[in-house]
Amino acid sequence: MTPFTQKSFICGDFRYPRQMLGEQVYEGHLSVHDDGMAKDLGLNGAPIEGPTHFSQFVPLLYEVFGDAWFERGCISAHYQNMVVEGEEVRAFVSPSEQICDVWAEKRDGTPVLKGTASIGPKYPDSEIDNRLANLRPVENLVIHADVKVGQKIVEKEPVIMQLDQIMGDMYPFSLKQKLQCITEDCAWYSDSDASPWGRAVIPVEMISVLTHYTSRRNEIPVKGPAVGLFADQEIKLIKGPLFVNQPYRLEREVIALSESRRVESHWLRTSIFDGSDLVAECILNSAVLKNSYAPYESEARALGKNIE
């Protein structure tokens, strides 16, 4: 045990994460990652999607946990401030045997995200576990008025990520294109012979893409059109890694609802199965901006909701 009060940490180099969602479309309109849409919402620019930053932690967490990170690793984060292309970001990890504090900052010290990283099989309480445990009851939902905790979606068709496959309107790029600009490349992502598992590994930031590939948003009755953001996110490998060209089956469940002054949220857990084996889980807090839903105020009054 150290007698010093200051925690030690390891960090990576400053990187320039790339914006790849300028053409993203959902619910028939461009997303907040479009420059024009972002400006209409009063943002400085189109934000880079949150899980893009997860790649900067991977070399650091591999240094701490070794191969086990790719097999049983869990990264859990609360997104604090948006990053636009051209800004530099650095990742930090405070090493520990089973769970680490993680955070990322811009060049000027502005926080980007904070959270935890750990390994299983006995996963300690994560950043998301703690946030879910402290959610307050919801009272004034409008956009999510018809969404219920426990609602489930079971995808009938398997999902697969191939190297050259465009991942749909939500993610209009391929893994190959991502690897051309990923902040931390690794031979294991594209070369089966280099991988310890004899197969190319899906990067942790692209697991989020895999879980959205066949996401049928209209089966969760979130009102729209409206603009959403990722507010919190966790990716947990249980029997990893996840592999390129491997079919997986997805099951989704709404596990919580929450609200703040500016947003309403649903928390969705996506379970990823290889056959009957649960191999990974992802939790995403999808926050919808109230002021992006045109009839928000009128519907709130009609429902007798407090919008102050």
CB neighbour class for 168 (10 Å; exposed up to 12, middle 13-18, buried from 19):
middle
User: What residue spans define the domains of the chain?
Assistant: 10-302
Q: Which amino acid is at 274?
A: D
Cα 258 vs. chain centroid, distance in angstroms?
A: 17
> Tokens 């209209």 label which residue?
218
Q: List the beta bridge partners of residue 284.
A: 233, 268
To the question of domain 10-302 being in CATH 3.40.50.300, the answer is no
pLDDT per residue as tens, the chain (308 positions): 556 666 689 999 999 998 866 554 555 544 554 555 545 555 566 678 889 999 999 999 999 999 999 999 999 999 999 998 889 999 999 999 889 999 999 999 999 999 999 999 999 999 999 999 999 999 889 999 999 999 999 988 999 999 999 877 778 888 999 999 999 999 999 999 999 999 999 999 999 999 988 654 457 899 988 888 899 999 999 999 999 999 999 999 999 999 999 999 999 999 999 999 999 999 999 999 998 899 999 999 988 876 65
CB atoms within 10 A of CB 164: 8
